[in-house]
Amino acid sequence: MKKIAVLTRDCAGVNAAIRSVVRTAVRHEIEVIGVIRGYDGLINGDFISLNHRSVSGILNRGGTILKTSRSKRFLTEEGQRQAVKNIVDNGIDGLIVIGGNGSLSGAHDLALKYDISVIGIPATIDNDVNGVDKAIGVDTAVNVALDALDKIRDTATSLERIFVVEVMGRSCGYIAMQVALAGGCEEVLVPELDVNYDDMCREIQIGAEKGKLSWIIIVAEGKASAYEIAKIVNNKTGLETRVAVLGHIQRGGRPTATDRIMAACLGNHAVELLREGVTDQCVYFKGNELKTLPLDIAIQPKNIDMVQYYKLIKTLT
């Protein structure tokens, strides 16, 4: 293995993973290429050379120094062929892809259809990589959302108001559930679970009659918009309801220690695996143990048991 490339999506901890990949590779005298703007960059041959110094001072920075994109072209055979041509023409022996479900699907395509050596590192705030307990970026996103929620609660409690707080999560309610549990929220709405809105509003009304006027409802964006939920609550209960949409603040920011440590370990492991000739696998932690998982499993829809979390939230309300 003489030359590898690294391609990323963005979330907190990705830069720490890039740093780990580069510095591990440099130790083994492997040349490292950074792919600019994700799969679009792979198709355009938009590459930069990375060395030990080029990843100095990035460990604590959010986003990705390599920039990224949502590439529509890479979903086509023509785009993939052009990307493979660039990999081969540039003498790249292996590719490390750091990202979520879409990025890892692209990595699997490269391995399966074009025999490119690829290792994936899960990094996505949605935590929707199948078989993986926690992706890089999740811990930071949950903590950022929790910090915002604690602030919202100050007003919710002081003014005895209902708040609907929308967090990210397109098809996976992981952030919502974690934040609701950690933040002591009264209700949480996620794509994986059906909550009857009439029952929810009745519960709010019964609470109000007993003097509990402050409620926080967390909703994952993939379930409904916070505005829709607020309208339902307001129409059915007559109680004043406010909305906060946390949005992209959850994806950026300084990575937590947990995300940085995970990124350091997974980046290092990914390079070692490429050197050993392993391909089409995703690296992750099971407890304290470094593990691998075939990419074709990692990209399947993830099923997290939300019922237990939900029951606990309602028990503690």
* Binding residues for ligand F6P (CB under 6 A): 70, 100, 124-126, 168-170, 221, 251
Strand order in 94-99's β-sheet? 47-50, 31-35, 3-8, 94-99, 118-122, 281-286, 289-294
What secondary structure does DSSP assign to 87-111, as a single string?
Answer: HHHTT--EEEEEESHHHHHHHHHHH
- Report the nearest approach of ligand F6P to the CB of residue 257 (Å): 22
Residue 169 or residue 207: which is nearer to ligand F6P going by CB?
A: 169
Q: Least distance from C-beta 204 to ligand F6P, angstroms?
A: 27
Cβ nearer to ligand F6P, comparing 124 with 237: 124
Q: Of 82, 22, 85, 13, whose CA–CA distance to 49 is shortest?
A: 22
Cβ pair 255, 140 in contact under 8 A: yes
Which residue, 9 or 269, has its beta carbon nearer to ligand F6P?
Answer: 9
Shortest Å distance, C-beta 246 to ligand F6P:
11
Q: Please, what is the minimum distance in Å from the beta carbon of residue 158 to ligand F6P?
A: 30
User: 171 or 292: whose CB is closer to ligand F6P?
Assistant: 171
Nearer to ligand F6P, 99 or 183 (CB): 99
Closest CA to 143 of 172, 182, 177: 182
Using CB atoms, what's the residue nearest to ligand F6P? 168
Entry field: residues in the chain: 317
- Taking the complex as a whole, the smallest distance from the CB of residue 120 to ligand F6P amounts, in Å, to 15
Quickly list DSSP for 154-204. HHHHHTT-EEEEEE--SS--HHHHHHHHHTT-SEEE-TTS---HHHHHHHH
In the set 126, 139, 259, 280, the catalytic residue is 126
Q: Work out how close the CB of 252 gets to ligand F6P at its nearest, in angstroms, rounded to a whole number.
A: 10
DSSP per-residue string spanning 101-160: HHHHHHHHHHHHHH---EEEEEB-TT---TT-S--BTHHHHHHHHHHHHHHHHHHHHHTT
Half-sphere exposure of 264 (CA within 13 A, CB side): 9
Q: Which two tokens stand for residue 18?
A: 């890039």
- Which is nearest to 101 in space by CA: 68, 69, 125? 125
Active site residue 126: yes
Q: Which is nearer to ligand F6P, 9 or 260 (CB)?
A: 9
Catalytic residue IDs:
126
